Amino acid sequence: MDWQTTPEDSVPSTLVPGTALGVIGKPPVTGAWRPGDHPGSRQFVALGEQWVRGGRLPSVRIAYESWGTLNDAKDNAVLVFHALTGDSHVTGDAGPGHKTAGWWGDVVGPGRAIDTDRWFVVAPNMLGGCQGSTGPSSVSPDGVEWGSRFPFVTVRDQVAAQVQLADALGIDRFAAVVGGSMGGMHALEFAASAPFRVARLAILASTAQTTADQIAANSLQRAAIQMDPGFAGGDYYEAEPGDGPSRGLSLARRMAMMTYRASDELNGRFDRSWQSDVSPLGDDGRFSVESYLDFHGNKFTRRFDASTYVTLTHAMDSHDVGAGRGGVASALGAITARTLVVGISSDRLFPVEDQHRIAAGIPDTLDGDHAAVIDSEFGHDGFLIEHAAVGAHLRRLLG
């Protein structure tokens, strides 16, 4: 079957015979970037001691990438936040230090919607992440990975670290802050925490407050990881390849894919087709959609970390821009940035009603009290796939 592909998730129409779903070799204990690995395009800033919801981190490092040139006035900086399983590699090829190509390469770059010939673009890996910033896979001061000891962090904790990154870079005010999905949570929280530091704001396929439905999906994905014996309570980093929590992490990814993509797309792409000539009806064959999910689950274990997934989904659950600010409406009403809010018509993770709520609450929006909606079959992942439509909306904001 000719499977449709996307830049971040290419899938072969034929899986490699004799291998685990087309992925060669035993899965690593973690797909995290580690000190000693090639840095790729990463740069690093040490923030020192940080207090987060779950306690104290004696030292924090934030990894980030940047493109373009910061002008003398330092007023052309654009801050881009990644989604749950993304990282700082927004644009650029795969290569040493970067297992995949940039996740928004058709949106960020010379002549793109976020034009790096005009803007100085900064993209951090979030606190708690696994691609260079301090997280569960990082080595703690005692020389052992944080693992189960890594404290609970919230979206607000993560944004506080990002504000300090801006301070370290000497950027007082961003020309724009942009984020989709979990990155949209960060962008919204940044604008609420430090409104004077954000001139323009773009929120794509995100929410002002994580709902019970979204928390439920995250909890099931965490359970899949935590029930894997290889997870060992989060302290698995000394295990041998193949003995880590790869099965649980793969299952979590497969479950998440069911919220990232739309049912109509999966039905149209796969229907009831078989992956091979062997019947899935009692003869040990597989439906094509099963192989699609398994391939992506196993591929994911090569570039991500199980404890990080647990940490970051907990952070997503914490998200409530109105907490301590008099409620969501009050918090949104205090945002001063000129704001673009974009939803995806078929999104079943963050339905368009979530984006309409944001647009209705922020005083200065491009489209009044409703979000702009991109008509797409790709579900939540539409903000990563519909490059032309996303780019057109961002050009409206950036001018």
Instruction: Give me the sign of the Cα torsion angle 387, 367, 365, 370.
Output: negative
Task: Provide the pairing of β-strand 108-109 with 114-115.
Answer: parallel
Please give the Cα distance from 236 to 16 (Å, whole number): 29
- What tokens were used for 318? 């914490």
CB 154 within 8 A of CB 53: yes
Of 347, 354, 376, 381, the active-site residue reads 347
Tokens 């007082």 identify what position?
172
Of 181, 307, 318, 346, the active-site residue reads 181
Task: Provide the pairing of β-strand 43-52 with 55-67.
Answer: antiparallel
318 catalytic? Reply is no
Count other Cβ atoms within 10 Å, centred on residue 168: 13
380 catalytic? Reply is yes
- What tokens were used for 361? 């609450």
Q: Which residues pair with 130 in a beta bridge?
A: none
Please give the Cα distance from 181 to 206 (Å, whole number): 5
Please give the Cα distance from 268 to 28 (Å, whole number): 34
φ and ψ at 287, to 5 degrees? -70, 150
Please give the Cα distance from 188 to 193 (Å, whole number): 9
Residue 320, SS3?
strand
Counting Cα atoms < 13 Å in the Cβ hemisphere of 37 gives 18
347 catalytic? Reply is yes
Of 89, 186, 319, 380, the active-site residue reads 380
Instruction: Give me the sign of the Cα torsion angle 362, 209, 171, 89.
Output: negative
Residues catalogued as catalytic: 181, 347, 380
